[in-house]
């Protein structure tokens, strides 16, 4: 499964050259000085991207390194036009963003089914000499050449379009939630980083309504610096209307113990911080904080948590101002839900809250600017695979993490000295 989820490809594309206009004079028996009759060249083929909602990944482009459109044909005698070059249409899933492969600059994006975007324009064909005839120059001895083609490396990145994105530490129960509310069958296990690639699920809601939920790999503190799986997958929640934060109820805090509001808020803040480092615009999205695995703590703890968050509502200062029940405006409130996927408790309430948030007018706009990407730093999944030769670590190699000198003076060294 993991190998089939391709959300990054780099392709070298070239549109077609325009055909040259023809330089030709009409010739026929008994027609002296037949005059210019060179026809125009044809247009070169475009490279076009077309959205296709039946595609979910860029897998079909993984092994396609070059895409070339054909050139336009040259113009001919008797004012005949050259043939237009054939366009090349690249089918991509909705939500594909295109960057320049050399500079990382954002070029365009395809969001809707059947939406077509011309990525590279084919050159226009040149005009034949027939166009240049004038009263004073009845025999123009020139015609236009065709326009050159365009060529560039492009990077296609998929940013899936879901309504709700799950954000949480590894093992928070994200995949379990997705498997309970939708028909998706993500891998679930009690070790961190079970989910390695984003998963999507369609959540059925009451009368025939549904919304889409995206489960992405867990985030840990320092993800922005590349720890864990890094922030590579965060782009998949860039366009979600609502972010659902998951913090397990049995989160441990050294001071307070298990399941205290402080422990939960601390984890929530770490997650927020990582999102901020990735793209501060993510913070302006509607958020819901959910406390998962509620079956792992006793009822008293849950009651205490509920009471605490009722008294101390969490506010989302970055979101657009929300209107409250009394008509006033203020920072949007982050709803807090408590649920357990294992015991199926609180799931329906959670869906209610999500549905309300998705349909709020202020959350409808999910436009986000696509920052240029760093083409040098960017990870290339297919190249990483080749590079996993086991590395031997030799004892005399001084690695900072293995630097034993800092342990000198404790334990063995003391013994050695004495001997």
Ligand X SMILES: Nc1nc2c(ncn2[C@@H]2O[C@H](COP(=O)(O)OP(=O)(O)OP(=O)(O)O)[C@@H](O)[C@H]2O)c(=O)[nH]1
Residue numbers at the binding site for ligand X (CB under 6 A):
168, 170-176, 188-190, 192-195, 217-218, 292-293, 295-296, 340-342
CA distance 83 to 373: 39
40: closest CA among 86, 87, 83? 83
* Nearest distance in Å: CB 196, Mg ion: 9
The answer to whether 221 and 169 have CB atoms below 8 angstroms apart is: no
Nearest Cα residue to 68 out of 48, 49, 82, 47: 47
Which residue, 147 or 215, is less far from Mg ion as judged by CB? 215
Report the partner that residue 153 touches, choosing among ligand X, Mg ion, none (CB closer than 5 to 8 A by kind): none
Element (H, E) at 14: strand 8-14
Nearer to Mg ion, 195 or 316 (CB): 195
Q: Report the partner that residue 51 touches, choosing among Mg ion, ligand X, none (CB closer than 5 to 8 A by kind).
A: none
Which does residue 340 bind out of Mg ion, ligand X, none, counting CB within 5 to 8 angstroms by kind? ligand X
Q: Rank residues 279 and 296 by Cβ distance to ligand X and give the closer one.
A: 296
CA distances from 71 to 47, 66, 74, 86, 104 (A): 12, 15, 9, 8, 27
Beta bridge partners of 214: 165, 200
Exposed, middle or buried by CB within 10 Å (0-12, 13-18, 19+), for 309? buried
By CB under 5 A, name the binding residues for Mg ion.
175, 194-195
Q: How far apart are the C-alpha atoms of 33 and 35, rounded to whole Å?
A: 5
At closest approach, how far in Å is the CB of 310 from ligand X? 22
Residue 184 touches which of ligand X, Mg ion, none (CB < 5 to 8 A by kind)?
Answer: none
CB of 292 to ligand X, least distance (A): 6
Residue number with CB closer to Mg ion (158 or 172): 172
Using CB distances below 5 to 8 A depending on partner kind, what does residue 293 bind out of ligand X, Mg ion, none?
A: ligand X
- Angle at the Cα of 124 from the Cα atoms of 118 and 128, rounded to 5 degrees: 165
Smallest gap from Cβ 341 to Mg ion, in A, equals 12
Quick one: 58 or 338, whose CB is closer to ligand X?
Answer: 338
Partner from ligand X, Mg ion, none binding residue 171, C-beta < 5-8 Å depending on class: ligand X
Closer to Mg ion at the Cβ: 21 or 217? Answer: 217
Partner whose binding site includes residue 189, from ligand X, Mg ion, none (CB under 5 to 8 Å by kind): ligand X
Beta bridge partners of 243: 165, 287
Least Å from the CB of residue 239 to ligand X: 21
- Token pair recorded at residue 66: 């070059």
Residue 13 has phi, psi (to 5 degrees) of -115, 145
- How distant, in Å, are the alpha carbons of 116, 226, 243, 254, 322 from that of 164? 26, 24, 6, 32, 19
Please say which residue, 188 or 322, places its beta carbon nearer to ligand X: 188
Shortest distance, CB of residue 196 to ligand X, whole angstroms?
8
Q: Taking the mean position of all CA atoms in its chain, how far away is CA 121?
A: 25
Rounded Cα gap, residues 174 and 213, in angstroms: 10
Q: How far is the CB of 215 from Mg ion (least distance, A)?
A: 6
Tell me the two tokens of residue 90. 């690249």
Instruction: State which residue, 194 or 273, has the beta carbon closest to Mg ion.
Output: 194
CB-CB contact of 283 with 275 (8 Å): yes
The least distance separating Mg ion from the CB of residue 217, rounded to whole angstroms, comes to 7
């Amino acid at each position: 499964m993991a190998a089939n989820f391709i959300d990054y490809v780099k392709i070298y594309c070239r549109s077609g050259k325009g055909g040259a206009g023809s330089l030709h004079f009409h010739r026929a028996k008994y027609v002296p000085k037949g005059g210019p009759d060179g026809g125009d060249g044809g247009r070169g083929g475009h490279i076009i991207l077309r959205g296709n909602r039946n595609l979910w990944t860029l897998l079909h482009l993984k092994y396609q390194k070059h895409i070339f459109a054909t050139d336009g044909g040259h113009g001919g005698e008797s004012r005949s036009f050259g043939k237009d070059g054939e366009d090349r249409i690249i089918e991509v899933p909705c939500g594909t963003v295109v960057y320049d492969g050399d500079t990382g600059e954002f070029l365009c994006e395809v969001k809707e089914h059947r939406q077509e975007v011309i990525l590279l324009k084919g050159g226009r064909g040149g005009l034949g000499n027939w166009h240049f005839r004038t009263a004073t120059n009845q025999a123009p001895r020139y015609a236009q050449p065709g326009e050159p083609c365009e060529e560039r490396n492009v990077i296609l990145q998929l940013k899936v379009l879901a309504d709700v994105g799950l954000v949480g530490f590894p093992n928070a129960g994200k995949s379990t939630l997705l498997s309970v509310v939708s028909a998706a069958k993500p891998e679930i296990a009690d070790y961190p980083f079970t989910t390695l690639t984003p998963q999507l699920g369609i959540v059925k809601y009451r009368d025939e309504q549904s919304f889409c939920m995206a489960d992405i790999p867990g985030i840990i503190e320092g993800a922005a610096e590349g720890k864990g799986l890094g922030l590579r997958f965060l782009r998949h929640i860039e366009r979600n209307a609502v972010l659902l934060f998951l913090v397990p109820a049995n989160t441990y805090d050294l001071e307070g113990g298990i399941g205290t509001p402080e422990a939960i808020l601390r984890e929530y803040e770490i997650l927020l911080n990582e999102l901020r480092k990735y793209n501060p615009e993510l913070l302006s999205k509607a958020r819901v904080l959910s406390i998962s695995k509620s079956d792992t703590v006793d009822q008293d703890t849950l009651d205490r948590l509920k009471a605490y968050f009722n008294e101390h509502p969490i506010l989302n200062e970055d979101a657009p101002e929300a209107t409250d029940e009394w008509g006033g405006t203020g920072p949007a409130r982050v709803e807090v839900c408590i649920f357990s996927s294992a015991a199926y408790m609180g799931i329906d309430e959670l869906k209610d809250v999500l549905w309300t948030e998705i349909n709020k007018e202020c959350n409808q706009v999910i436009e986000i600017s696509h920052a240029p990407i760093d083409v040098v730093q960017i990870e290339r999944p297919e190249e990483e695979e080749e590079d996993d030769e086991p590395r031997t670590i030799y004892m005399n190699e001084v690695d900072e993490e293995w630097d034993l000198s800092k342990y000198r003076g404790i334990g063995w060294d003391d013994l050695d000295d004495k001997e």
